[in-house]
Amino acid sequence: MNQVSYKVNRSIELPDGSRCVDIFENSDGVFSFEEYRRDPETNSGWFPIGNYCLLKWKTEKDAFEAAIETVPWLKMHIGDNDF
pLDDT of residue 52: 92
Q: What residues does 34 pair with on adjacent strands? A: 22
**Could you tell me how far CA 61 lies from the centroid of its own chain?**
12
Write down the pLDDT at residue 83. 55
How much is the pLDDT for 1?
A: 44
Report residue 6's pLDDT band, with 50, 70 and 90 as the boundaries. confident
Whole-number Å distance between alpha carbons of 66 and 64: 5
Nearest to 21 by CA among 80, 77, 83, 59: 77
- The residues that bridge with 6 in the sheet, in sequence order, are 26
CB atoms within 10 A of CB 31: 21
> Which of the 8 DSSP states describes residue 54?
G
pLDDT, tens only, 28-64: 999 999 999 998 777 788 999 988 988 999 999 999 9
